[in-house]
Structure 1
Amino acid sequence: MRKLPEIMFPVIVLITFVLLQATPASTSETVIFDRILSDHSIGFDILYVLSQAIHENKSIIMDLNADNPLMYRIKKCGRVLLFTHDAVKEQQVIFGTDWIAWMFTLSGQKCSEYEVTNQLYLDVLTDKLTSGVVTFHVADHLSITRMENSLYQNNIPYYLNSSAHETNVFISTLTPLISKVLSSSFLNIHLICDLTSPAKIQFSKCGLVVSNPLYVRGIESVILKNSDLESISRVSQLQCTSDFSQSRFEIRVTTFNRAGGAFALKIVDDTTVAEEAFYIGFVALAFMFLVACCCCVCTCTNSCCFKKKRVLTNEYLETFAMKPLDDRCDTCGESVDAPHHAK
């Protein structure tokens, strides 16, 4: 007769297997690094966490804890998605709907046939032996009070007086209007700069910067591309303990030399600009046409007047022309053909 433990063991294994199959995957993902130095890259997969957040219409919270200050960047296929601008030991960032959808799409992309699918990469940069942990987990959305349209800073100038290589940070509340610009084929956002030095401009929030900085020559107007506007919209959705709003973002301006001046973000309706250009061009063409007509009329008039004057002169000469001197009488002044009177 078989002993009870021998009978129960297969049953316990079977029950454990069934429970593991029935238990859903964890809605969190943890990335651990231990005693790393310099630049260290770690691959991680949060595709399931992202899909759960999308399915449940929730946010994702990223928690970072380390024993020494560090900087980090998150990448996909060598492309930097975001990075810290200062070293941190602790950080909590909440990713909203647009971020989650974007990272879900990127996670599923395969960079090459040799890459493990769904991998993102965390690059940790530190100058000391550092250990820490980064956790991604699903959480409920935070309720946010939207700002009124009157508070949107459209075409509001920002003034700066900066030393060389100094970074100045400004707050913009233009975010709610960006979606309107993205959905329109006529609206654009212009970055208008009047600075005394070339500068680098980046967009950030909660200590994180989106990639692809803009470089301006100093006095310049730059039309922001859709990719720039999408990056600004995403970064403005980041939430943290220092800023729970989803309607603003930071503009970081780093001048290469000591500089002063101002810059602004302005929404421009291209239809209005096109109409103004059309009317200006039309008036210019009309003016040129009138000038050409006047020149033509004057030329023709002068030519006709000259011909008429020449005809009249010829007629006058023919009518009132003096007779040839050879036929005149040198002594009496009378024509030789005139009759002689008797004395």
Structure 2
Amino acid sequence: MMKLSISRNELYNKLAVVQKVIASKSAVPVAENFLFRIEGNILKIVATDLETTLSTSIDLEQNHGTLVFAMPQKIMEILKELPEQMLSFDIDEQNFKIVLQNESGTYNGDFMGVDVGKDGEDFPRPHELSTDTQEFSLTSEVLLNGISLTAFATSEEEARPIMTGILFDIFDHNITFVATDSHKLVKYNVNNVEIGFDSSFILPKKPALTLKNILGKTDEKIQIKFDDKNIVFVMPEFEMICRQIEGKYPNYNAVIQQNPYKAIVDKGSLLSAVKRVKVFANQGTGLIVFKLTNNKIEISAQDIDFSTSAHEEVACQYSDSDIEIGFKAILVEEMLSNMLSSQITLELADPSRAGVIVPFENDEDQSILMLLMPMFLS
């Protein structure tokens, strides 16, 4: 019988993070559990969906032997209800039956450990990097911003897998994060980062969002290693390895053109107006119309089928020719919601060309550009 003593909060919090990787239905049933690997005074916890593997570890109070087994996710149900205190686990090393005790009770439930072989060989192994590996480091803030500002623009169409991830376009002294679904595009560039080589990879959206959840809790540097198939992110308390999306990413710079008409507007005022007018847009198309005239943006929408319409005006700085252009309301709302700057510049050319949104003032060390394709105005 192996006896472990573990803090409830540390165990629950770390399990809650790695659990996000586990698929609800796996082709390998044992992968629907956590892998627990006890070696000496370290408990290593691993979760995988076969494409992404996330691991963490907990320091134990005493040295133990070696024991490897799969812990069912059901353990989370009782941990969630327990208060913070030290927990005692009694684990039968033959059949992996688990008895949990705390100060107020004993819990002998059906969270029976699962045999995965003496060295865990029956649990899926993470992908390994080849010898031809490149690596660099980013601050957690840069990596978090790169994911947070672009993930919403990735495609949901599995038929075009390249566009379902975030491009990391890496250069000697800067890195650019790009995402697009062909209707919208976001490009976030960070200068003055020491990388030392040029390369690129495409990070799938699911591991990107898992990273986002972890990165908000650390302010240390993140080590990134990759080859032509896999990517490893080494963080203070977690390590993730995932498959990258293979293929050539579209030339994103080719679709970004200089638009001559520029309006400077308060982002909050524009976003609020779009949210209100969107309610009255056609339910099928979601079309809203921007009409830029002297120092104002007129925003309108209508649904002829239900005889509803709305019209608002938002003050701005604009002195170019009048222009009218249509956009999908939900996409405008998404972009404005993810733009950090309070003052933005809306750059337009004509009703058939993409509109561009940038901060009124870009930081010299970082810049962001959001591009949105227009909708046809009948």
Shorter-normalised TM-score: what interval? under 0.3
Structure with the greater alpha carbon radius of gyration: 1
Structure with the bigger percentage of strand = 2
What's the TM-score once normalised by structure 2's chain length?
0.24
Larger RCO: 1 or 2 (CA < 8 Å, sep 6+): 1
Structure with the bigger percentage of helix = 1
